[in-house]
Amino acid sequence: MSASKLEKTLARVKQRIADQQFYEAHQALRTVAARHIKAQQYDHAIELLYHGAQQLLQAGEGGSGGDLARYMVDTYKTAKVPVNIESRLQVVTLFDLFKPDEPRRKEYIQDVVQWSGSNGDVKYGDPELFHIFGSAFANEDSPYEAEKFLLLGTKDSPVVLANMLFEWFSEDPSAYTVSFYISRAVLGYLSVGNIRDAKKSLDVYIPQVISSGRLGTNHQTATSSIGDTITVFPEYPLLNFLQLLIAVCQRKDADLFRRLRFRYKTELKDAAALDEALDRIGERFCGIQVRNQGNILSDLMGSFFAPAQSGNASVPQIQNSDLD
């Protein structure tokens, strides 16, 4: 298809949309795109589907526009289009046009995750796309959805995640739960082997907690017995535990890991839902074998789109369904 012919086709579709002939526009685009795909003219098909989806989504036709957006990503898969600047821009442009409550949006995201995982440079999907999706969910106050993407995002993702968790904690009347919120980030990142972002999330979260004044003034900087500088909170021991856990994981010392869990066994007993995550972390960093261990990344991807389980809203502990 020449550039002029493509422009004419899109102009006709645009006119149909302007005349509110949405069904006709949708069907025409699908038919022409299918013809190009059959002829292996994938670039032409993608161009038609991209612009057609844009126009329909801008017209508020989430169902028809979403269908064409999904068809575009399906064509990416068929044509083995890589994740690059151009394809990422197309994906994000269409994502931004979906209304948050549009059912096709979730399906579109799932298609993008599958495509980016099979054709990108990273096995489980494109971190930049994950960061964009996760940030959008964070802005929409959908923390369970946001964290699933941010845990596999970019170096900027832990900042977004920590800020979201602090805002969540700020709405909680109980200061006791301060550790449970940030444990979602720390244990989540450590479970996927990401020490850098586990530490970054704490580095962002703790100063905000201190500045809020909700924990009082009973805290101080100290050097731990293994030589790391941490902020000690005598009344909130799990915050101390999370800081020390990162230090132990950096050392990959199985004996230190066991001693740390034993030292905080009383506090961890009150947060039993953390056990599975700690088992996985111990196996990943210290080689401590635990039976029936799954692959955390595969589990994360496998249940990206399972219904969120909120559990006890006042104590958002890490649960198997939240990590996986």
Nearest to 298 by CA among 197, 192, 143: 192
* Confidence tier at 89 by pLDDT (50, 70, 90): very high
Identify whether residues 106 and 168 lie together within a single domain. Answer: no
Tell me whether residue 126 is in a domain: no
Residue 319: per-residue pLDDT: 33
- Residues 190 and 280: their CA atoms lie apart, in Å, by 9
Q: Using 50, 70 and 90 to split pLDDT, how confident is the model at 299?
A: low
What proportion of the chain, given as a percentage, has pLDDT over 90? 72
**CATH number for position 201:** 1.25.40.10
What domain count does the chain have? 2
pTM, two decimal places: 0.86
Q: Is residue 220 part of a domain?
A: yes
Q: Are 281 and 235 in contact (CB under 8 A)?
A: no
The full DSSP string for 85-139 is HHHHHHHHHHHHHS-TT-HHHHHHHHHHHHHHHHHSSSTT--HHHHHHHHHHHHH
In this structure, are 199 and 94 located in the same domain? no
Q: Residues of 156-173 as b/e, b for ≥16 C-beta within 10 angstroms? A: ebbbbbbebbbebbeebe
pLDDT in tens, 143-171: 999 999 999 999 999 999 999 999 999 99
pLDDT tens, 194-215? 999 999 999 999 999 999 999 9
Pair (79, 185) in one structural domain: no
Give the pLDDT band (50/70/90) at residue 1: low
Range of the domain at 316: 153-324
Q: What is the pLDDT of residue 124?
A: 77
- DSSP label at 299? H
**Any domain includes 95:** yes
One domain for residues 250 and 158: yes
Residues 170 and 303 grouped into a single domain: yes
